Amino acid sequence: DVKVTQSSRYLVKRTGEKVFLECVQDMDHENMFWYRQDPGLGLRLIYFSYDVKMKEKGDIPEGYSVSREKKERFSLILESASTNQTSMYLCASSSTWGRRVWFFGPGTRLTVL
Amino acid sequence: AQKVTQAQTEISVVEKEDVTLDCVYETRDTTYYLFWYKQPPSGELVFLIRRNSFDEQNEISGRYSWNFQKSTSSFNFTITASQVVDSAVYFCALSEKTGANSKLTFGKGITLSVRP
């Protein structure tokens, strides 16, 4: 079975803290993505990466950065967390070739107090 | 830019009713892919179907069926004889490019509640 895992299901942080959300996929996919999901807004793309050490801004990159040092791992970083970053964060991966489907992790529900 | 519109936000039906979830998309590309995902209460998005722009054949999978019409830029999803387990948020999504740096753009989702 294909697998995308995220380091935490629930996370509570304080305003101003640096937050790391980790995502790992075991499918040897080239592409990885970070989305945030908010009620009434659906899923919005924060950043994505189509290769190791490569990154592209999505639709809402402000306040976030990413790191992809290894093919299987894609990290989302909140340099200084703020309350408006309280959300559900979903990681996904997909292959560049063949039948292209996005596979999602279980999500991390982040609360910033 | 690509865009997906799911005009319905919440739908409530009684078990065994049929229900159709609407999806309208916008794209300038001639090659694109459409998706439906299901998000049950557990939170993980589950892939349901992928359809490319050259294949307008309708698809049926058990109680699920999809109607793709390029003329109206729609990709609607019908659940026949709904069940309580169908209760979830359903997302329609669009991908324009086929190679690297292709992005998946989602609609805002439709919350389906199936009552016993």
Contact flag A104-B37 (C-beta cutoff 8 Å): yes
Q: Residue B93 — φ and ψ, nearest 5°?
A: -145, 160
Q: Which residues of B touch A107 (CB under 8 A)?
A: 43-44
**Average pLDDT rounded to a whole number, residues B83-110:** 87
pLDDT band at A16 (very low <50, low <70, confident <90, very high): very high
- Partner-chain contact B100 A51, CB within 8 Å: yes
Question: What is residue B8's predicted lDDT score, i.e. its pLDDT?
Answer: 96
| CB atoms closer than 10 angstroms to residue A15 | 11
Tell me the pLDDT tens digit for each residue of B4-33: 999 999 999 999 999 999 999 999 888 899
Residue B101 has pLDDT above 80, yes or no: no
Which 8-state DSSP code applies to residue A4?
Answer: E
pLDDT at A69 over 70: yes
Model pLDDT, residue B109: 95
Task: Decide if B98 touches A, using CB distance below 8 A.
Answer: yes
pLDDT of residue B29: 87
**Whole-number pLDDT of residue B52:** 87
Interface test with A, best of B3, B52, B101 (most A CBs within 10 A): B101
Confidence check: pLDDT of A1 > 80: no
Rounded Cα distance between A101 and A78, Å, is 27
Q: Which two tokens stand for residue A98?
A: 């063949």
Share of chain B above pLDDT 70, in %: 96
Q: Is the per-residue pLDDT at B1 higher than 90? A: no
Selection from A52, A53, A74, A73 nearest residue A64 by Cα:
A74
What's the pLDDT tens digit per position in A74-109?
999 999 999 999 999 999 999 877 778 899 999 999
Q: What is the pLDDT of residues A24-46, one digit of tens each?
A: 999 999 999 999 999 888 999 99
pLDDT at A40: 86
Average pLDDT taken over every residue of chain B = 92
- The share of chain B scoring above pLDDT 90, in percent, equals 72
CA distance B3 to B111: 19
State the DSSP string of A73-99: EEEEEESS--GGG-EEEEEEEE-SSSS
pLDDT of residue B58 exceeding 90, the answer is: no
Rounded to whole angstroms, the Cα distance separating A83 from B85 reads: 34
